[in-house]
Structure 1
């Protein structure tokens, strides 16, 4: 038996004179909800370009920047690649003390660890002559901070190298071995998949195009020397560097068989982050054994060589990254300069040619082999004359200076307040967690609420339409006199 309330509701709905009022009210409610949704701010939205439009825009820009050169397929991504520098200020007392403790009196470090400002000038030269680059720069150090770097610039970040070491490798800290540090650069948070490592002693001397490092289909150009690496194991008389190269060759022969492999050119290295993940899987044991060397040693694995020939042997196919080994005539303009005590006149001649614009070199590497500070003075004089303009990454005049190391001078303990905390790796349970400002959360709540009200209003209109039209057509007509008696 129906209640009196339900009976009266049906009587109202069955009276056609109330139909326009109900429909008009529902439409007005719908219009109000739509207006409120439309009036909400949506600064985060934009009209996205189609893939074709985006490609056309990038191609037009490349044509303007590099006339006559091919259009690199994924140039818009590659121009935002990460740049990685490794740097040491060997004059820091705590650093020298740690070297002495772990390496003895002959491990204090020589000219290679002396700070004459190469890093600052390297970045100046890169920004000047590779102005197409728009990505971030990471400076990986043993807790040292260059006195000129602007830590507030969002495009540059100083990272303590110890933070990069995974748990299994932390037992070998501290380390002074570049072969070890280079193993874990790919673990920098926020690092692009394709990134470039530049030594702090590299100076760009002429405009350099992305075509120097990338192929037209967006692949990597693998720069190498003309000389081939021997397949014979190193002898006792061999030096540290060549011994590590020959040991790496032995490991690659075991994996891929004996093949012709060239020495790697002394130039910026273009790496794939995903490639290093595979390199660690394939050469896990020899890389782990390298961790045990506090300083560079003969048994070490040569990391650039491993990456280079992994890409050649299987990485390109596995990762879908094209590679190209150019002929020697396409790899001219790189110069390794040995700065020695007895070659100051030769250095001045090279430096004068670079300043005058008559030098054939586009990238030089200043390899420190001196003990006479007159050699350093010659280099500093050249760098300051050739690159006088500061980069955007340097402190402005009058800016507040910052500490030069993360270690307390009294105890050499780490002060964790100096550098920004190292980003935590995201756990799987947190991967999809949304963190937003209060205003953003409120806007999202209001939007969801209004959408819910709009959906509810629409369902109400549909239900009223069903009751008044569809259901009435199906139901047999009957007199309402029975209801009038209630």
Structure 2
């Protein structure tokens, strides 16, 4: 079996689209939120002040030219500069893969939890948010790599015609769940994910069956975190690197089969809710079933723009120095948006100066 075809999936929303805004407002007015359900329907969630999406496509063309197809998931709108005729680009609208009963949706969890239903999607795909940027040359083996000839425990990703198995690259690290009020609904969602995980998996079984993946030289200091937290009977939280995630489509299919009711309940929420299950449930499932090959945590890095100019300048330097293969740049409240945007744009243009074929000429 040759290196498998690897697809990229990216989700995007134009928070200024009048049609989208009108449907969002209408859905808000029609939705009855239970008092027990904290909900995130704010406009801030859909804001994209800097619009660096073209640099995402330039990064893919330059640093991941081997990608099979790019599935661009959207409400229906597309950037006016995007070359829709590019042979690798597939525009996927919500109605193309999300069951009609859950539409319209403004819940990213609903969208993400149905990615496996995208028509034509490969068994092997990498999921990106639109603020995850490629900064360095990558290889297919950075995301999926051939594992041993022995079938991994509970793996669905095994060819009957071949002894070869390809598994996602990732790293495992335990974490501690903290109810931080400033993070709004996220601690609740993390708690929901972990409650489901602890129902399905025994922590002691993972450490016994996959010791060489629970501890690995590539993990560096994260090994000490795992060592310190391993005595606890259950997982408090599993570390989320907030990076592009390598997924097996079959992981989604199997998880829907075993936990379809709770996933459907999430999908019924038109907006993100404190009662949701996020796509990380699929990531955790792959980890705890040993369906991954260890990768260094330094492959990617998560950052957030803020009012601290020193922090923002550090992000600019990360880009210019191409310090990581993938850099996440979350939006935040900045003092001078125009100045920050210019600095970031210049940094991206320094490493990605040429227009890609994904942009209209």
Q: TM-score range by the shorter chain?
A: 0.7 to 0.9
Deviation at 1:350, TM superposition (A): 3.3
For 2:196 and 2:313, the matched residues in 1 are separated by: 42
Q: Give yes or no for the alignment of 1:124 onto 2:58.
A: yes
Contact 1:122 1:202 in 2 (8 A): yes
Aligned residue in 2 for 1:248: 193
Show the 5 A alignment for 1:282-431.
282-303=258-279, 305-314=280-289, 322-326=291-295, 330-340=296-306, 342-352=307-317, 354-355=319-320, 357=321, 360-370=323-333, 372-374=336-338, 375-396=340-361
Q: Give yes or no for the alignment of 1:187 onto 2:163.
A: no
Contact 2:144 2:166 in 1 (8 A): yes
Deviation digits for residues 38-84 of structure 1, max 9, x if unmatched?
xxxxxxxxxxxxxxxxxxxxxxxxxxxxxxxxxxx742x2xx31111
Deviation at 1:96, TM superposition (A): 1.8
Give the alignment's TM-score, normalised by structure 1.
Answer: 0.57
For 2:45 and 2:104, the matched residues in 1 are separated by: 21
Deviation at 1:224, TM superposition (A): 4.1
Show structure 2 runs of 5+ residues with no match: 30-39, 148-164, 204-233
Aligned residue in 2 for 1:113: 47
Q: CA RMSD in A?
A: 2.6
Distance 1:205 1:257, change over 3 A: same
Q: Give yes or no for the alignment of 1:223 onto 2:148.
A: no
For 1:108 and 1:269, the matched residues in 2 are separated by: 26
Q: Give yes or no for the alignment of 1:197 onto 2:127.
A: yes
Deviation at 1:333, TM superposition (A): 4.0
Please identify the structure whose Cα radius of gyration is greater. Answer: 1
For 2:16 and 2:285, the matched residues in 1 are separated by: 37
For 2:283 and 2:173, the matched residues in 1 are separated by: 15
Report the structure, 1 or 2, having the larger helix content: 1
Aligned residue in 2 for 1:263: 239
Higher normalized contact order (CA 8 Å, seq sep 6+, divided by chain length): 2
Deviation at 1:239, TM superposition (A): 2.7
Distance 1:242 1:223, change over 3 A: farther
For 1:222 and 1:235, the matched residues in 2 are separated by: 30
**Which residue of 102, 110, 120 maps to 1:172?**
102
SS of 2:305 mapped into structure 1: strand
Aligned residue-pair number: 301
For 2:181 and 2:267, the matched residues in 1 are separated by: 21
Contact 1:219 1:324 in 2 (8 A): no
Q: Give yes or no for the alignment of 1:153 onto 2:118.
A: no
Deviation digits for residues 302-321 of structure 1, max 9, x if unmatched?
21x2212322444x6xxxxx
Report the structure, 1 or 2, having the larger strand content: 2
SS of 2:303 mapped into structure 1: strand
For 1:309 and 1:345, the matched residues in 2 are separated by: 34
SS of 2:85 mapped into structure 1: coil
Show structure 1 runs of 5+ residues with no match: 1-72, 317-321, 397-486
Deviation at 1:115, TM superposition (A): 5.4
Deviation digits for residues 359-386 of structure 1, max 9, x if unmatched?
5322111100126533334333333343
Show the 5 A alignment for 1:433-444.
none
Deviation digits for residues 273-313 of structure 1, max 9, x if unmatched?
1221111111111111102222211111021x221232244
For 2:127 and 2:90, the matched residues in 1 are separated by: 14
Distance 1:225 1:376, change over 3 A: farther
SS of 2:25 mapped into structure 1: helix
Aligned residue in 1 for 2:69: 136
SS of 1:110 mapped into structure 2: helix
For 1:235 and 1:350, the matched residues in 2 are separated by: 25
